[in-house]
Structures are given as C-alpha cells and as structure tokens.
Amino acid sequence: MGGLSVIAPPAGDTASRPHRRARRAFLVSNYLILGAASGCGFLTLSLRLVPSVDGFLLILLHALTRVVVEGDGGRGDRREPRHRARALAARLAERGLTVVLTARDAARGEAAAAPLLERGLAVAVRRLDVADAASVAEFAAWLRDDVGGLDILVNNAAVSFNEIDTNSVEHAETVLRTNFYGAKMLTEALLPLFRQSPATSRILNISSQLGLLNKLRDPSLRSLLLDEDRLTESAIEGMVARFLSEVKDGTWSDPGRGWPKVWTDYAVSKLALNAYSRLLARRLQARGQRVSVNCFCPGFTRTDMTKGWGKRTADEVADVGARLALLPPDELPTGTFFRWCTPQLYSKL
C-alpha cells in the first residue's frame, strides 16, 4: 500500500470539524450508510454529492449485536461505550444526520438505537446479516432500488473468540468468514452501486496492525503478498484456505509454518483483508474508477472483543474514523494503511 502519509487528528471541536470541512469541500446532500457484522461489524457510508446547502446524511449502521465472546462485559470503570460503529454513528448523528441502524437481530438493533433516540438523534433500524449471501444481496438490492447507490463504504467487521492472553483457533472458520470473506462479499456486492463523482468515492477497511506483513513469519507467503505481479484474489484466498486446512489437521502451530503468533486466526483474517484492499485499490485505479481503498488500524480499543481493555475508547476512535471517512478529495490517498499512533496517523505497510 502507498507511501508514508501523515494526518494529524483534528484539534479542538472534533465532533463538528470533519462534517463542516466535508460540506465546504463537497457541497453535499448526503446518504451515509453504516453497516456491520456481529460485534464491531461493517460500516457502509454513502455520500451523495449534489449542489445543495441543505444536505443530510442517511446512515445505515449494522453491527450492534454483540461480538460472540464468552463473558461479554466490562471490568469496573472500563464499562464504556464499546461499539465503534455505534460511536461513529453517534458522532455523525450529533451533527444532525439521519441514522439507520441494522443488525442480524432487529430487536437488538432497536435496543442499540434506543440510547441515541433518547438523545433526540434521528435513528431507524433495518435487519442485515453480512455473513449470509442472501441477506447481503437483499441489502444491495434495497440500496440500489430505494436509496440509489453509495459513495463511501467502511468495512468495520471484526470477531474474535480469544481472550486477551489466549490464542485458540477453534473458531477460525467463523473468524475468517466474518472478518475477511464477509468484508469482501459486501464490498464486491456494493461496488457496482458506487456513484461516480468529482469528490471520489471511498472504501475504508477497519483493520489491525496484527495483519501487518512483519507478523507473518513465512518468507514465501510474505514475498507473495508483497509481489504486485503475483498478488491475486486467488493467491489471497489460497493463503486463507491453506491456513484453515492446517487448522483442521492440527499442523498450523508446527515449527516452520510461520503464521502470526498473536491471535493467529484474527491476524490471518486481517492479513487477507489488507492484501485484498491493496489489490482492490490497484484494480480500481487501473480501470480509471474514482474509488479510493484504504485501511485504518484504530489500535487497542475498549470494545466487547477486548473485554473492555484497551488504550482508547470507542468514542476516541470514532472521532478519527469520522475524519478519515470524510477526507476532502485533495487529501484522500488510495492503497494506504493508516495506523493510529499518538498524536498522529501514519501509513505503514
């Protein structure tokens, strides 16, 4: 992914600056769609660019069913808002945006939306299961027929069945199906629906530094993922299939296999997502399509998946996520991995 790119987080009024800046740059009347898988999920954001001062953002947020982790809950004062998707929705709704909340379980979606509604924010609920091809197809059809398309897609999917200090691969297939295949399936389903505009459509994949290539200890796989001539969707899926095969026969942890040591199944899912993002950025560029594709690692965040442990709150991550989602066209790269370090964001392969 691209070269070094430094973007300092906004100072002062972080809740309002990204939207003010976006409207000044785009003259927007917007549809903003946020979607997700269980837990941290997928966010889909659509920004419709038309010359209008009275713009609005329609946000579709899916992912507020809880992540499938035993003992869901926090520890003491670590019980904070943990859903990055919900926090980002709140940031945007606080600016007067309209929010549609989706979840696999509509009742849970309504429960998740309740606190936002109590604050007077405009929120609605819609069902979506991103791990289900039929559900994704139904959602894409609704987006096409009822909304008319999208301009920004943020894939925020992440599930893990590990405790902070464990490394089980018992649920590796589910982790890969959600974190990689789910993100890819939703992205490919929505690609034909991206509207072409001077402001450039954008895809932002929420990833992890656990998926950086330096975590992969197999030189041949690392070389494959670095080689632009050999990197293909088949190669990426072949790597995933090899890992799952070794999980099944119990050889994944044998000396010399070279898989990441920490949260191995989760790390492999993010390795695959990062590689797919880089490949997709190159594919869209070659076709002349004005769609940027980038990844963002928010760092160790206090979510249900981390059992409330972490250096940052979901609200802090939402501040930065909102800014990245609404970057002006002249600041928008493609093929870039943004890693949050204090006090800056920078790209790193």
**β pairing state of 291-297 and 336-341:** parallel
Residue 181: DSSP 8-state? I
Phi, psi of 266 (to 5 degrees): -65, -45
DSSP 250: T
- Which tokens is 216 given? 């992969």
Place of tokens 């890992």: 243
The series of mean pLDDT values per 10 residues for the chain, 349 residues long, is 34 35 26 33 34 30 26 28 66 65 74 85 74 88 80 76 84 93 91 81 85 88 91 96 97 92 93 95 93 84 57 73 77 84 43
The pair of structure tokens assigned to 299 is: 């760092």
Dump strand ranges (E) for 75-139: 98-103, 122-127
CA-nearest of 157, 152, 97, 107 to 127 is: 107
Angle at the Cα of 228 from the Cα atoms of 224 and 231, rounded to 5 degrees: 50
119 vs 247: CA distance, rounded Å: 46
**Phi, psi (degrees; rounded to nearest 5) at 189:** -70, -30
Q: How far apart are CA 74 and CA 77, in angstroms?
A: 8
Rounded alpha-carbon distances, angstroms, from residue 13 to 91, 131, 166, 299, 323: 12, 37, 39, 22, 12
DSSP at 195 = P
Q: Mark whether 266 is an active-site residue.
A: yes
State the pLDDT at residue 39. 30
**What integer pLDDT is reported at residue 303 of this predicted model?**
59
Q: What pLDDT is stored for residue 193 in this prediction?
A: 87
Cα separation of 90 and 95, whole Å? 9
Residue 284 backbone dihedrals phi, psi, to 5 degrees: -70, -35
pLDDT at 223: 92
Strand, helix or coil for residue 149 = coil
Classify 258 as helix, strand or coil: coil
Domains of the chain (ranges; CATH) run 6-213+274-347 (3.40.50.720)
- Please give the Cα distance from 45 to 202 (Å, whole number): 9
Q: Which of 31, 181, 266, 276 is catalytic?
A: 266
Cis-peptide into 343, omega within 30 deg: yes
Q: Which long-range contacts (CB under 8 A, 24 or more apart) does 70-79 make?
A: 70/161, 71/307, 72/304, 73/304, 73/307, 73/308, 74/302, 74/307, 74/308, 75/307, 75/308, 75/309, 78/302, 78/308, 78/309, 79/308
Structure tokens at 335: 């093929």
